[in-house]
């Protein structure tokens, strides 16, 4: 009879220890897991980077590189990278086009690049300044708009919008108001 009581006593002690461990240690483990989940959720929504760079090829096989000093990827649209202090290089044959701007965005899925505020595009001796420049690789199209100023050794000009179809290599220079004229001066 004494052996039976010892077994019961040991089982009772084991049960009490099991209950204590379950109620004291298990909630702490859950709390640690929940804190890790919260931290990962915060990281997903913030996704900020410094000195980020992307490289790729357009439809014609030209190489490009776009980068910025500061970038942010929002969790609701992970394909879009919002950029600050942006620089892009587009290599077309033996020519290099450099684009700089205060702000920009890059769509990783479509490879479209949008530049805004203090946009400057330099290709050889040609310089173009504007408020906005969009390179839509999906349509092989470039639009430069809002306060467009362009100059080279032979000419300079001002317009509201310049559209370039990269497939046909045709350009269209226009003003928003029909009564305004594009200003062009030729140097001789």
Domain chopping of the chain, boundaries: 2-46, 49-186
CATH class of domain segment(s) 49-186: mainly beta
In three-state secondary structure terms, 103 is strand
pLDDT of the residue at 43: 46
35 burial type by CB count under 10 A (0-12 exposed, 13-18 middle, 19+ buried): exposed
Q: In this predicted structure, what is the pLDDT of residue 17?
A: 65
10 three-state secondary structure = helix
Contact 172, 141 (CB under 8 A): no
Distance CA 169, CA 141 (A): 9
The parts of the chain modelled with pLDDT lower than 70 are 1-4, 9-12, 14-15, 17-46, 188
Q: How high is the pLDDT of residue 187? A: 76
- pLDDT computed for residue 182 by the predictor: 79
CA distance 137 to 154: 30
For the entire predicted model, the pTM comes to 0.73
What does DSSP assign to residue 177?
S
pLDDT score recorded for residue 28 = 52
Going by C-alpha positions, the residue among 72, 82, 83 that lies closest to residue 45 is: 72
What angle in degrees, to the nearest 10, is found between the helix axes of 26-46 and 2-24? 20
Pairing label, strands 113-123, 126-136: antiparallel
């Amino acid at each position: 009879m004494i052996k039976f009581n010892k077994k019961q006593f040991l089982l009772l002690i084991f049960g009490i220890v099991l209950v204590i461990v379950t109620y004291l240690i298990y909630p702490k483990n859950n709390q640690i897991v929940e804190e890790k989940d919260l931290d990962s959720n915060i990281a997903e929504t913030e996704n900020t980077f410094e000195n980020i760079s992307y490289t790729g090829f357009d439809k014609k096989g030209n190489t490009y590189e776009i980068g910025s000093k500061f970038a942010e990827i929002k969790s609701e649209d992970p394909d879009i990278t919002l950029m600050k202090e942006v620089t892009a290089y587009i290599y077309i044959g033996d020519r290099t086009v450099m684009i700089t701007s205060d702000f920009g965005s890059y769509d990783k899925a479509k490879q479209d690049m949008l530049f805004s505020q203090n946009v400057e595009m330099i290709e050889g001796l040609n310089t173009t300044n504007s408020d906005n420049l969009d390179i839509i690789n999906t349509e092989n199209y470039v639009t430069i708009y809002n306060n467009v100023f362009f100059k080279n050794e032979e000419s300079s000009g001002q317009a509201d919008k310049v559209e370039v179809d990269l497939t046909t290599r045709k350009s269209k220079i226009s003003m928003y108001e029909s009564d305004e004229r594009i200003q062009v001066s030729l140097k001789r």
